[in-house]
Amino acid sequence: MLTLITAMDEDRLIGRGKELPWRLPEELEHFRRTTLGGVVILGRATWEFMAQKRPFLDGRVNFVVTHKPAAWQTDVAEAGFDPTFGPHFVDTIELAVTRARREFPEYVEHLFLLGGRQIYELALRRNLVDRMLISHVKGKHIGDVYFPPIGPEWTGRVILKGKTFDVVEYTRE
């Protein structure tokens, strides 16, 4: 099962330039707890921003989607590559899912799509997403990157209520 995970505000805002529009440590902790021990798939831009701090999200198998997987894989070999956590570069989300199932069966039970915007849109357009875990951040913020509208086929159920955000699990028939 592929779970899309994201945080958005009341306008569906998810990003400000390359960064998040807010600083919410408790939301990052929810994200960490939820994805730990699983496989995460992210776009090259989101990975590159994140990799300024560390080459991969630790405790999770990292797949990065790019048009140039071979070039990025070579570059990162020197910077820091872990045989399990990666990052493993692929040119499609589908290949990330196939390789995760084949190569990392002990992690693949929890398979997450981390964004950013291009990767979310791609996966939703191709009907690859089975479930969405959306942190609905309270209020409106400054930024320029938006999540696409959530279609009527998705049914939401609040699974966590917080001071600054609520987590809604969306599933569909």
Ligand X SMILES: NC(=O)c1ccc[n+]([C@@H]2O[C@H](COP(=O)([O-])OP(=O)(O)OC[C@H]3O[C@@H](n4cnc5c(N)ncnc54)[C@H](OP(=O)(O)O)[C@@H]3O)[C@@H](O)[C@H]2O)c1
Number of residues that bind ligand X (CB under 6 A): 24
Give the span between the Cα atoms of 18 and 91, in whole angstroms. 21
**Residue closer to ligand X, measured from CB, 18 or 101:** 18
Give the span between the Cα atoms of 30 and 98, in whole angstroms. 27
Q: Are 45 and 67 in contact (CB under 8 A)?
A: no
Query: Which one of 32-40, 43-51, 74-82, 158-166 is the stretch in contact with ligand X (CB under 6 A)?
Result: 43-51
Q: According to the binding rule CB under 6 A, does residue 66 interact with ligand X?
A: yes
Residue 33: left if φ>0, alpha if ψ -120 to 50, beta else—which one?
alpha
Query: Which one of 37-45, 77-85, 97-105, 154-162 is the stretch in contact with ligand X (CB under 6 A)?
Result: 37-45
Write down the least CB distance from residue 144 to ligand X, Å. Answer: 8
Query: Which tokens is 59 given?
Result: 């405790």
| Residue among 2, 24, 40, 45 that touches ligand X (CB under 6 A) | 45
CB contact burial 54-70 (16+ within 10 A = b; e otherwise): ebbbeebbbbbbbeebe
Write down the least CB distance from residue 103 to ligand X, Å. Answer: 20
- Cα torsion 3, 51, 63, 72: sign: positive
**Residue closer to ligand X, measured from CB, 63 or 85:** 63
| Residue among 1, 10, 11, 19 that touches ligand X (CB under 6 A) | 19
**Residue closer to ligand X, measured from CB, 73 or 171:** 73
Q: According to the binding rule CB under 6 A, does residue 23 interact with ligand X?
A: no
**Residue closer to ligand X, measured from CB, 66 or 171:** 66
Q: According to the binding rule CB under 6 A, does residue 15 interact with ligand X?
A: yes
Give the span between the Cα atoms of 68 and 131, in whole angstroms. 28
Task: Please give the DSSP secondary-structure letter assigned to residue 170.
Answer: E
**Residue closer to ligand X, measured from CB, 61 or 64:** 64
